[in-house]
C-alpha cells in the first residue's frame, strides 16, 4: 500500500508540472468530451436480444404428398403439355425434396380450387399450431406479448394475419402488431431485424415473430414452365419465435442475437426482376423465377458476407486478410486475395432450403462440408421449401440432433425476392437438449437411415459425397431392390462415423473461396461495398486516435464521428483507453 | 339404363388422392402371381350405404385423416403398375395413393334405396379402369357420396389384379378399424410368389405334360377367354351392352326353391348357392332357346387357404362345370348335383396357360363362360363404422365377358334374410330372363 501511494505521489510530482504546458481550455474540452462520449455510449448501448425459444409447425401426416403423387397430379393437371411436365419432373427429381413433404389440403384436389376460406384455414392451421407449441414450450402468457410481427409473402388478407393471431390469443389492446407481406423467402430475418430494432427502443418487452408462407391461394394453374416450378418446390410450413430483451430471462434463453445484416440488391434491375409475381399469357398468376437466380443469389451473398465478415471473423482471420490486402494494394504484390474461413467464425450454418441448387452453390461458395449443410438438406428433404420459416426448421434440426452446445455460433442465411440476402448470427446461451415434441422429433431417428439409404442406393461407401444424395431419386423398377439390399448389408453407424471423420478432414483443408467481383473493386468506400471498409476504418481509427491524442484533440471528434457505426462503440472505447494510457505515461 | 333422376342427382364431384401418411412402400416392387395377372381385366365395384348418424360430424378432413393412417397399413393397393424388362407388370409401392371422389346427392338415402333402378349403384362408385396411362392409374378408387338426409355411401372400385372380393373386403375393413383407432400388427401383404424352387418343379411338370401331348397345340383352358392384346388399357369391350339386375331371394323363397328342385329326395338337400345357380342357369338356357351355356364357371371362397391380412387371388376356387346334353334335358336336381360334384378346379390350368405364354396373354375369367360367384359368406355387413353397420351393400364385377356373371351376395341382416343376386348380362337377355324367372320359378 505504502509503496503504491509512494508511486502515485511520484507520479503526481512528475505529472503536475506538465499541466503547465496544456491550457485549461484543452483539459476542459477533453474532460467534457470524454464525459459526453461515455454517457452517449451508455445510453445507446445496444440491448441484447435473446431468443427464448421457437417452434416450427409440424404438418399433420394427412397433408403428405409423396413424390409419386405429386408427379401423378402434375401429369393429370398438365395432360395437354407432356413436354413441360417431362421437364418439370426431371427438375423435381433432382430438387432434393423427400417423400414426406406436405401441401395444404386444398392443393390435394384435382384440380385445386382454392378460395379465401381455404387460405384462412391453412393460415390458422399453420400459425396457430406453431403458436400453440411455442406457448406450450415457453409457458408464456399471450397477454405478456408486447410486439407481434407476422411475415407471409403472398397471402395478405384483411384483417391481417397478425390481427388473426391477436384475436385468437386475446392479446393486449396495446400490442404492437405488424404484418409484413411481399418480402419473399428472406422475410423471416427481416422480421427478426425489425423485432431487434423495436426491442432497442422498448425496454423489458417480449416480441413474437411468426414466419410462414400460405400456399393455398398461390398455386399456379397455368402452363408456363418457369412459373410451375414453385408449385413443385414450395411446401407448407411456419415457425413462431419468442424474443425478449429482458435481462432476467437471460438464463432461460436459448440464444442471443449478435448481428443481423440485411442486403438489398433491389437497385440493380436484374436482381429486382429475378423473382416476380406476374400473370402469364393466359392470365394465371404465378411466381416467375428468372434463369439468373443462382448468379444473383451468389452476388447478393457476396455483399452480405462482406458486411458480416468483419463483424464475426476472429482477429487472426482479419489480420491475415488485412496483411493480404495491404500487400496487394500498397506493395502491389501479385498474390491471391486471402479468403477468410467462415468455419472459424461459426459452428453451425442454416442456409435457406430454397432448393438443392441453392444449397449446393452455397456449400461450394463457402467451402462448407456436408455436415455443415446437412441441416439445410434435411429440411429440404423432410419439409420442402417452406420459404421464410425454413431457417427455423434447420435450427430445429441442429437442436434435435443434439449438436447445439453453449457458446456455439449459428449463421442463418436467407435469400428472397427483391433481391435480398439477409443473415443473422446467434450465439448459443446454453447446451440445448433435443425436445421430444418438436417438428423433427419423430423423424430425426430416421435421418441416419436416409443418409445411409442415399449412400446405399448409389453404392457410395465414401459417404463424404453426401452432396449426391439430393440427386437420388430411386431409379424406377428393380434398381430399388438392389439399393435396399445394399442398404441392409451396409452398416449404417460405421458409415456415418466415417463420414464425420472425413468431414473433419475437409474442415481442416478447405478455405473460403470468396473473391471480389470486378464491379466491387471500383466501388466507393461505402459501408456495405466491401469487406475492407470497416476493417480499414477500424485500424485507421485506432492509428489516428494514437496520433492525434498526442497533438491536438479536435480532429479526433471528426474521426469518432466518422467511425460511429454499429461497431463504433468499441473503437471509441479503444481510443479512450489509448488516450488515458498516453496521458498517464506523460 | 339408369334413369336420369338418379344419375342427375349426383353433383359437386371433387377429386383428390389419399396416400399413406408416412413413407410406407419404400418404392419396393411387388411381384404378381400368374393368377393375379389372369384377373387383370376385372374390377370389383362395391357400394356400402350407411344411414344418417354414422358419419355425423365426421368431416371430410377427419375422414381423410383416418384414410392416411389406414393406408400406412395397406400400401400395396396404393402403388402403381410398372413393367419389368420382360414386360411383366409389377406393382411399384411408391405410395401414389388411392383416388378419392367426394360427391353429393340430391336424394335422401331412403329414396335412393327404394328406387327400382338397379343400375343406380353404378354412379356411386368410380368406373375407371387401369390404363391407358398405366403408371398413373390408381388401383383403388373410393367415392364418398353424401345424401341429403345425412346418409353416406362408400363406393370402392377395386382392381381384381390385387385380389378377390374377400381381399377387397379385408382392405376396406381395415379402414373401418382405423376409424376406430385399431391397427393391424402387420401391414396388408400380398400373397408371396412361389419360392425359387417351386417354379422349377412347375416347369419340369410342364415339360413332362408336354412330352406326353407334344403334338397338341396349346389350348387355353375352358375357363378363360383369350382376348385381343389390350396393351396398357386393361379393360374389355363387350359385343353388346351389359346390364346388371338384382334379384332378392328371401329365406322362405329359398326353401321353396330348394323343395322345388329336390322334389321328393328329402335326404338330399342342395345348398342355397347351388339352387340359385340351377335356377338361373336353366332360365338362361331357356332365354337362349335351349342352346344355353353348356359350360359354367363357379367361383367360391377357398376359406381354408385364406389368411387374414393377405390380399390374394389364390384363395378363390375357380372351377368348371361341363354338361354333355342340352340344359333343358337336365332335371334341376341333376344339374345341382353336377355343380356340387363335377366342378373341376381350373386354377392350375389357368396359371400354366399364363406362364407358358411368354407374352402373358390377356384373359377374361368372369364372363368367359356364364360365371357364378359365391359371395354369400362375405362379411359385408360386419364392417362397422363408428358403431354402425352398413344399411345395404352392393357389389358388381365390371369389365367382364359377354357370357355374363351371377353374383350371389348376402342381404342386410334383419331386413330379409336370404340372398341377393346380381346378374350381369347383355341387355337383350335381361328382360327375357326376368320374365322366365317369374314364369318358371315365381321369382320377381
Per-residue pLDDT tens over the stretch A9-49: 676 666 655 555 667 788 888 888 999 888 888 777 778 99
Same domain as B427, residue B298:
yes
Same domain as B173, residue B68:
yes
**Does A108 participate in catalysis according to the annotation?**
no
Same domain as B229, residue B160:
no
- Mark yes or no for CB contact B22/A68 under 8 Å: no
Could you report the per-residue pLDDT of A168-207, keeping only the tens digit for each?
999 999 999 999 999 989 999 999 999 999 999 998 999 9
* Nearest-Cα residue of chain A relative to residue B27: A480
* Nearest-Cα residue of chain A relative to residue B78: A69
Structure confidence at residue A352 (pLDDT): 93
Question: Could you list the pLDDT tens digit for every one of the 444 residues in chain B?
Answer: 445 577 788 999 999 999 999 988 888 889 999 999 999 999 999 999 999 888 998 999 999 999 999 999 999 999 999 998 888 999 999 999 999 999 999 999 999 988 888 888 999 999 999 988 999 999 999 999 999 999 999 999 999 999 999 999 999 999 999 999 999 988 989 877 655 444 444 444 444 444 444 444 567 888 889 888 888 999 988 888 899 999 988 888 888 888 888 876 666 778 889 889 998 998 888 888 766 788 999 999 988 888 888 999 988 999 999 888 888 788 888 888 888 888 888 888 888 888 887 778 899 999 999 999 999 888 889 889 998 999 999 999 999 999 999 999 998 876 667 889 999 999 888 988 999 888 888 776
Pairwise CA distance, residues A96 & A427, whole Å = 29
Same domain as A97, residue A38:
no
Same domain as B179, residue B82:
yes
Could you report the per-residue pLDDT of A13-23, keeping only the tens digit for each?
666 555 556 67
- Mark yes or no for CB contact B64/A478 under 8 Å: no
Same domain as B137, residue B61:
yes
In this model, does residue A518 exceed pLDDT 60? no
pTM of the model as a whole: 0.79
**Does A264 participate in catalysis according to the annotation?**
yes
Take residue A438 and report the three cell numbers written for it.
Answer: 418438436
Structure confidence at residue B194 (pLDDT): 59
The sign of the CA dihedral A266, A271, A275, A278 is positive
- Mark yes or no for CB contact A64/B20 under 8 Å: yes
Which among A431, A458, A485 is the end of a domain? A458
Same domain as A79, residue A41:
no
CB of B329 less than 8 A from some CB of A:
no
Same domain as B412, residue B278:
yes
Q: In what order do the strands lie in the sheet with A409-416?
A: A176-180, A147-152, A206-213, A237-244, A49-56, A255-264, A420-428, A409-416, A348-351
Same domain as A100, residue A25:
no
**Closest Cα of chain A to B68: distance in Å?**
5
Query: Does some domain include residue A118?
Result: yes
Query: Does some domain include residue B202?
Result: no
Same domain as B186, residue B231:
no
Could you report the per-residue pLDDT of A112-144, keeping only the tens digit for each?
989 999 999 999 999 999 999 999 999 999 999
* Nearest-Cα residue of chain A relative to residue B100: A109
Same domain as B234, residue B146:
no
Q: Mutate which of B14, B16, B65 to test chain A, going by most A C-beta atoms within 10 A?
A: B16
Size of the A and B interface in Cβ pairs below 8 Å? 77
**Closest Cα of chain B to A441: distance in Å?**
14
The one catalytic residue in A73, A372, A381, A464 is A381
A contact residues 464-503, partner B, Cβ 8 Å cutoff: 474, 476-478, 480-481, 484
The one catalytic residue in A73, A259, A352, A464 is A352
CATH number, residue A161: 3.40.47.10
Q: Which chain A positions have a beta carbon within 8 Å of B19's beta carbon?
A: 64-66, 69
Q: Mutate which of A60, A65, A69 to test chain B, going by most B C-beta atoms within 10 A?
A: A69
**Does A445 participate in catalysis according to the annotation?**
no
Number of domains comprising chain A: 2
Q: Which chain B positions have a beta carbon within 8 Å of A75's beta carbon?
A: 133, 136
CB of B210 less than 8 A from some CB of A:
no
Q: At what angle do helices B332-341 and B251-262 cross, to 10 degrees?
A: 100
Same domain as A119, residue A7:
no
- Mark yes or no for CB contact B92/A64 under 8 Å: no
Pairwise CA distance, residues A258 & A93, whole Å = 38
CB of A108 less than 8 A from some CB of B:
yes
Nearest residue, CB atoms, B15 vs list A100, A109, A481 = A109
A contact residues 566-585, partner B, Cβ 8 Å cutoff: none
Same domain as A433, residue A303:
yes
**Closest Cα of chain A to B17: distance in Å?**
7
Same domain as A302, residue A246:
yes
User: What is the 3 state secondary structure string of chain B?
Assistant: CCCHHHHHCEEEEEEEEECCCCCCCCCEEECCCHHHHHCCCCEEEEEEEECHHHHCCCCHHHHHHHHHHHHHCCCHHHCEEEECCCCCEEEEECCCCEEEEEEEECCCHHHHHHCCCHHHHHHHCCCCCECCCHHHCCCEEEEEEECCCCCEEEEEEEEHHHCCHHHHHHHHHHHHHHHCCCCCCCCCEECCCCCCHHHHHHHHHHHHHHHHCCCCCCCCCCCCEECCCCCCCECCCCCCCEEEEEEEEEHHHHHHHHHHHHCCCCCCCCCHHHHHHHHHHHHHHHHCCCCCCCEEEEEEECHHHCCCCEECCCCEEEEEEECCCCHHHCCHHHHHHHHHHCCEECHHHHHHHHHHCCCCCCEECECCEEEEEECCCCCHHHCCECCECCCEEEEEEECCCCCCEEEEEECCCCCCCEEEEEEEEEHHHHHHHHHHHHHHHCCC
Same domain as B31, residue B176:
yes
Same domain as A340, residue A282:
yes
CATH number, residue B424: 3.30.559.10
Number of domains comprising chain B: 2
ipTM strictly over 0.90? no
Query: Does some domain include residue B196?
Result: no
Query: Does some domain include residue A545?
Result: no
Distances (CA, A) of A162 to A120, A125, A147, A205, A445: 12, 14, 10, 18, 35
CB of B95 less than 8 A from some CB of A:
yes
Structure confidence at residue A448 (pLDDT): 63
- For B309, the domain range is 225-441
- For A8, the domain range is 1-45
Q: Which chain A positions have a beta carbon within 8 Å of B65's beta carbon?
A: 60, 62
Which among A436, A458, A480 is the end of a domain? A458
Amino acid at each position: 500500500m505504502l509503496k503504491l501511494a509512494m508511486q502515485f505521489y511520484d507520479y503526481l510530482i512528475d505529472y503536475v508540472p506538465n499541466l503547465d504546458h496544456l491550457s485549461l481550455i484543452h483539459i476542459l474540452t477533453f474532460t467534457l468530451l470524454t464525459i459526453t462520449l461515455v454517457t452517449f455510449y451508455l445510453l445507446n448501448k445496444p440491448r441484447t436480444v435473446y431468443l427464448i425459444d421457437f417452434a416450427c409447425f409440424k404438418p399433420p401426416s394427412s397433408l403428405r404428398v409423396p413424390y409419386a403423387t405429386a408427379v401423378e397430379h402434375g401429369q393429370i393437371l398438365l395432360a395437354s403439355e407432356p413436354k413441360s411436365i417431362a421437364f418439370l419432373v426431371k427438375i423435381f427429381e433432382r430438387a432434393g425434396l423427400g417423400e414426406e413433404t406436405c401441401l395444404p389440403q386444398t392443393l390435394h384436389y384435382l384440380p385445386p380450387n382454392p378460395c379465401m376460406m381455404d387460405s384462412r384455414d391453412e393460415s390458422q392451421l399453420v400459425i396457430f399450431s406453431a403458436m400453440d407449441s411455442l406457448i406450450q414450450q415457453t409457458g408464456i402468457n399471450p397477454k405478456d406479448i408486447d410486439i407481434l410481427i407476422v411475415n407471409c409473402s403472398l397471402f395478405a388478407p384483411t384483417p391481417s394475419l397478425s390481427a388473426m393471431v391477436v384475436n385468437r390469443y386475446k392479446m393486449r389492446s396495446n400490442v404492437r402488431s405488424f404484418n409484413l407481406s411481399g418480402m419473399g423467402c428472406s422475410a423471416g430475418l427481416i422480421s427478426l431485424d425489425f423485432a431487434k430494432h423495436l426491442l432497442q427502443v422498448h425496454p423489458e418487452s417480449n416480441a413474437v415473430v411468426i414466419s410462414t408462407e400460405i400456399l393455398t391461394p398461390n398455386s399456379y394453374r397455368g402452363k408456363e414452365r418457369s412459373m410451375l416450378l414453385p408449385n413443385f418446390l414450395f411446401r407448407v410450413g411456419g415457425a413462431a419465435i419468442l424474443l425478449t430483451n429482458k435481462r432476467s430471462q437471460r438464463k432461460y434463453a436459448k440464444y442471443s442475437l449478435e448481428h443481423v445484416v440485411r442486403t438489398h440488391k433491389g437497385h440493380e434491375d436484374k436482381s429486382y426482376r429475378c423473382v416476380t409475381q406476374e400473370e402469364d399469357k393466359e392470365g394465371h398468376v404465378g411466381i416467375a423465377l428468372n434463369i439468373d437466380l443462382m448468379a444473383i443469389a451468389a452476388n447478393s451473398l457476396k455483399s452480405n458476407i462482406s458486411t458480416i465478415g468483419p463483424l464475426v471473423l476472429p482477429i487472426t482471420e482479419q489480420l491475415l486478410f488485412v496483411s493480404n490486402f495491404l500487400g496487394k494494394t500498397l506493395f502491389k504484390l501479385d498474390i491471391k486475395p486471402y479468403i477468410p474461413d467462415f468455419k472459424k467464425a461459426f459452428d453451425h450454418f442454416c442456409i435457406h432450403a430454397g432448393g438443392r441448387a441453392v444449397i449446393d452453390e452455397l456449400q461450394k461458395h463457402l467451402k462448407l462440408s456436408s455436415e455443415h449443410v446437412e441441416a439445410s438438406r434435411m429440411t429440404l428433404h423432410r419439409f420442402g421449401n417452406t420459404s421464410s420459416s425454413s431457417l427455423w426448421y434447420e435450427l430445429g434440426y441442429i437442436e434435435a440432433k443434439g449438436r447445439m452446445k453453449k457458446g456455439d455460433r449459428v449463421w442463418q442465411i436467407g435469400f428472397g425476392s427483391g433481391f435480398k440476402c439477409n443473415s443473422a448470427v446467434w450465439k448459443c446461451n446454453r447446451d440445448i437438449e433435443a425436445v421430444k415434441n418438436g417438428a423433427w422429433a419423430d423423424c430425426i431417428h430416421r435421418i441416419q437411415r436416409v443418409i445411409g439409404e442415399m449412400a446405399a442406393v448409389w453404392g457410395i461407401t465414401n459417404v463424404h459425397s453426401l452432396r449426391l444424395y439430393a440427386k437420388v431419386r430411386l431409379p424406377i423398377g428393380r434398381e430399388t431392390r438392389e439399393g435396399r439390399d445394399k442398404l441392409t448389408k451396409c452398416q449404417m453407424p460405421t458409415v456415418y462415423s466415417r463420414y464425420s471423420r472425413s468431414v473433419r478432414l475437409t474442415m481442416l483443408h478447405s478455405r473460403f473461396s470468396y473473391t471480389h467481383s470486378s464491379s466491387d473493386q471500383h466501388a466507393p468506400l461505402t459501408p456495405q461495398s466491401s469487406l475492407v471498409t470497416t476493417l480499414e476504418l477500424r485500424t485507421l481509427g485506432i492509428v489516428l486516435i494514437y496520433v492525434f491524442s498526442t497533438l491536438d484533440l479536435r480532429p479526433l471528434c471528426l474521426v469518432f464521428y466518422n467511425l460511429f457505426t454499429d461497431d463504433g462503440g468499441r473503437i471509441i472505447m479503444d481510443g479512450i483507453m489509448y488516450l488515458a494510457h498516453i496521458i498517464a505515461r506523460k | 339404363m339408369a334413369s336420369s333422376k338418379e344419375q342427375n342427382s349426383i353433383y359437386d364431384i371433387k377429386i383428390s388422392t389419399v396416400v399413406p401418411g408416412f413413407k410406407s412402400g419404400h418404392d419396393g416392387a411387388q411381384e404378381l402371381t400368374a393368377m393375379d395377372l389372369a384377373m387383370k381385366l376385372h374390377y370389383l365395384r362395391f357400394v356400402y350405404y350407411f344411414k344418417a348418424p354414422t358419419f355425423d360430424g365426421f368431416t371430410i378432413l377427419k375422414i381423410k385423416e383416418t384414410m392416411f393412417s389406414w393406408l400406412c397399413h395397406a400400401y400395396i393397393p396404393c402403388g402403381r403398375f410398372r413393367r419389368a424388362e420382360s414386360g411383366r407388370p409389377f406393382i411399384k409401392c411408391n405410395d401414389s395413393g388411392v383416388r378419392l371422389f367426394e360427391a353429393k346427392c340430391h336424394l335422401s338415402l331412403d329414396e335412393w334405396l327404394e328406387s327400382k333402378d338397379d343400375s343406380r349403384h353404378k354412379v356411386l362408385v368410380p368406373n375407371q379402369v387401369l390404363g391407358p396411362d398405366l403408371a398413373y392409374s390408381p388401383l383403388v378408387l373410393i367415392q364418398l357420396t353424401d345424401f341429403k338426409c345425412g346418409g353416406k355411401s362408400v363406393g370402392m372400385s377395386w382392381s381384381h389384379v390385387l385380389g378377390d372380393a374377400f381381399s377387397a373386403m379385408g382392405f376396406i375393413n381395415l379402414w373401418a378399424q382405423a376409424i376406430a383407432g385399431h391397427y393391424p400388427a402387420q401391414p396388408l401383404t400380398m400373397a408371396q410368389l412361389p419360392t425359387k424352387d417351386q417354379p422349377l418343379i412347375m416347369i419340369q411338370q410342364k415339360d413332362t405334360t408336354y412330352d406326353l401331348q407334344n403334338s397338341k397345340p396349346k389350348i387355353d383352358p375352358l375357363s378363360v377367354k383369350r382376348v385381343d392384346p389390350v396393351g396398357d388399357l386393361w379393360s374389355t369391350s363387350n359385343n353388346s351392352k351389359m346390364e346388371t339386375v338384382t334379384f332378392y331371394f328371401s329365406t322362405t323363397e329359398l326353401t321353396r326353391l330348394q323343395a322345388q328342385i329336390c322334389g321328393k329326395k328329402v335326404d338330399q338337400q342342395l345348398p342355397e348357392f347351388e339352387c340359385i345357380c340351377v335356377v338361373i342357369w336353366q332360365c338362361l338356357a331357356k332365354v337362349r332357346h335351349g342352346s344355353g351355356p353348356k359350360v359354367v364357371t363357379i367361383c367360391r371362397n377357398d376359406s381354408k387357404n385364406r389368411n387374414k391380412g393377405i390380399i390374394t387371388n389364390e384363395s378363390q376356387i375357380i372351377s368348371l362345370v361341363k354338361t354333355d346334353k342340352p340344359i333343358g334335358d337336365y332335371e334341376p336336381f341333376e344339374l345341382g348335383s353336377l355343380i356340387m360334384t363335377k366342378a373341376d378346379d381350373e386354377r392350375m390350368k389357368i396359371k400354366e396357360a399364363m406362364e407358358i405364354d411368354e407374352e402373358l396373354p390377356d384373359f377374361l375369367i368372369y364372363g368367359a363362360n356364364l360365371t357364378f360367384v359365391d359371395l354369400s359368406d362375405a362379411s359385408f355387413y360386419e364392417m362397422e363404422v363408428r358403431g354402425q353397420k352398413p344399411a345395404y351393400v352392393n357389389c358388381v364385377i365390371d369389365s367382364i365377358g359377354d357370357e355374363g356373371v351371377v353374383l350371389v351376395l348376402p342381404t342386410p341382416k334383419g331386413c330379409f334374410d336370404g340372398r341377393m343376386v346380381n346378374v350381369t348380362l347383355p341387355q337383350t337377355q335381361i328382360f327375357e330372363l326376368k320374365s322366365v324367372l317369374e314364369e318358371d320359378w315365381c321369382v320377381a
